């Protein structure tokens, strides 16, 4: 399975912070926001990832992440000239996807929870589509899924005025290889966008959509507003300070996955300046 991270968009709700830099490059406590969705896909065992961004920001992402070899991975980059909806990622990334199955992660969503990596690693051979549901207090701001009495998804609605449930669909999706052709068949919505909800509805009609409710111990953080950006940073800081480990440390995940050796990480981290992050990685190598 391959992975796509959608890191485009204007980030207008975060202006003026995003007037000169992508929101996915803004800090969430001690690391850039883009590290978190990369880490989520890494935990699923996905080593080939495509970063889709804007023409303005592409060089900055390449400067930050390189080709991924320092993490035992492969990063590729593609440009989305204008926001055309989440499902446009499959059209922009068609060549990258090829004959593979694919996971899509939104670049401004953070997931954290015990056992999350094992849970996601079971989805790399997905048949059809596998998405998630998460209970929220404000479902009208998200795509919403409705379940029947047997816990089976019956409808999907994008930002409904009167939500039929409190379960929002977070920005993490797993698909088989049909998704590219399905995305091509989707007609733009009234907003002029190729909606991910339309793709998921197609799988629902085929009875090939599985919706899994994320357990209460899993945190899902959407960082699209200044308030949420700050809340996410505070969450990461509290967890890291209390528990002594870092969330979304790419070097640590790569080591645990066996994708890189201690020697390879040491050569890379020695080129980094002194910081709490680099010192944490150095400590990992010495333990």
246-280 confidence digits (pLDDT tens):
999 999 999 999 999 999 999 988 888 889 999 99
User: Could you tell me if residue 267 is inside a domain?
Assistant: no
d(CA 7, CA 275): 26
Q: The domain that contains 60 carries what CATH number?
A: 3.90.550.10
Task: Report the DSSP pairing between strands 48-53 and 74-79.
Answer: parallel
In a domain, 45, yes or no: yes
Whole-number Å distance between alpha carbons of 106 and 7: 7
In a domain, 174, yes or no: yes
**What percent of the chain is modeled with pLDDT above 90?**
80
CA distance 232 to 28: 7
Return the structure tokens found at 260. 């890189």
Q: How confident is the model at residue 192 (pLDDT cuts 50, 70, 90)?
A: confident
Q: What is the pLDDT of residue 72?
A: 97
> 200 with 171: CB under 8 angstroms?
no
pLDDT at 215 over 90: no
What is the end-to-end Cα distance of the chain in Å, rounded? 32
Q: Is the pLDDT of residue 93 over 80?
A: yes
175: pLDDT confidence band, cut at 50, 70 and 90? very high
Tell me how far apart the alpha carbons of residues 254 and 267 are, in angstroms, rounded to a whole number.
Answer: 14
Q: How far apart are CA 274 and CA 148, in angstroms?
A: 54
pLDDT of residue 83: 81
Predicted local confidence at residue 245, as pLDDT = 95
Q: Is residue 268 part of a domain?
A: no
Question: How many domains is the chain partitioned into structurally?
Answer: 1
Is 221 within the bounds of a domain? Answer: yes
52-91 pLDDT, tens digit each: 999 999 999 999 999 999 999 999 999 998 888 999 999 9
Q: Does the structure show a pLDDT above 80 at 126?
A: yes
- Give 214's DSSP letter: P
pLDDT-based confidence at 189, cuts 50/70/90?
A: confident
Q: Does a structural domain hold residue 266?
A: no
Kindly state the average pLDDT of the residues 228-244: 96
Pairing of strands 48-53, 109-112: unpaired
Mean pLDDT computed over 11-23: 89
Inform me whether the pLDDT recorded for 287 exceeds 80: no
Asked if residue 22 is part of any domain, the answer here is yes
Strand partners, 221: 110
Inter-axis angle of helices 262-269 and 276-286, nearest 10: 150
| Domain enclosing residue 157, as ranges | 2-248
Identify the band that residue 164 occupies on the pLDDT scale cut at 50, 70 and 90: confident
What is the CB neighbour count within 10 angstroms for residue 261? 12
Rounded to 5°, the CA angle 66-68-73 comes to 170
Query: Does 60 map to a domain?
Result: yes
Neighbouring C-beta atoms of residue 215, cutoff 10 Å:
12
Q: Which residue has the higher pLDDT, 251 or 188?
A: 251
Mean pLDDT, rounded, of the chain: 94
């Amino acid at each position: 399975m391959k992975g796509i991270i959608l890191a485009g968009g204007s980030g207008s709700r975060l202006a003026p912070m995003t007037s000169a830099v992508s929101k996915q490059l803004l800090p969430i406590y001690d690391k850039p926001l883009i590290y978190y969705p990369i880490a989520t896909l890494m935990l699923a065992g996905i080593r080939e990832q495509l970063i889709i961004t804007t023409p303005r920001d592409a060089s900055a992402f390449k400067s930050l992440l390189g080709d991924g070899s320092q993490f035992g991975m492969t990063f590729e980059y593609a440009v989305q000239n204008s926001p055309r909806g989440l499902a446009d990622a499959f059209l922009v990334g068609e060549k990258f996807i090829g004959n593979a199955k694919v996971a899509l992660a939104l670049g401004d969503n953070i997931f954290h929870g015990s056992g999350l990596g094992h849970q996601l690693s079971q989805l790399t051979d997905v048949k059809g589509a596998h998405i998630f549901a998460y209970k929220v207090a404000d479902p009208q701001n998200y795509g919403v899924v409705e379940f029947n009495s047997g816990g089976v998804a019956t409808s999907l609605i994008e930002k409904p005025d009167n939500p039929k449930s409190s379960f929002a669909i977070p920005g993490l999706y797993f698909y088989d290889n049909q998704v590219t052709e399905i995305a091509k068949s989707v007609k733009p919505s009234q907003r002029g966008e190729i909606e991910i909800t339309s793709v998921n509805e197609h799988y629902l009609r085929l009875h090939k959509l599985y919706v899994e409710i994320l357990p209460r111990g899993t945190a899902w953080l959407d960082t699209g507003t200044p308030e949420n950006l700050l809340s996410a940073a505070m969450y990461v800081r509290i967890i890291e300070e209390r528990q002594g480990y870092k969330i979304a440390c790419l070097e640590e995940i790569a080591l645990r996955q066996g994708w890189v050796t201690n020697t390879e990480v040491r050569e890379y981290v020695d080129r980094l300046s002194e910081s709490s992050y680099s010192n944490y990685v150095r400590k990992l190598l010495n333990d």
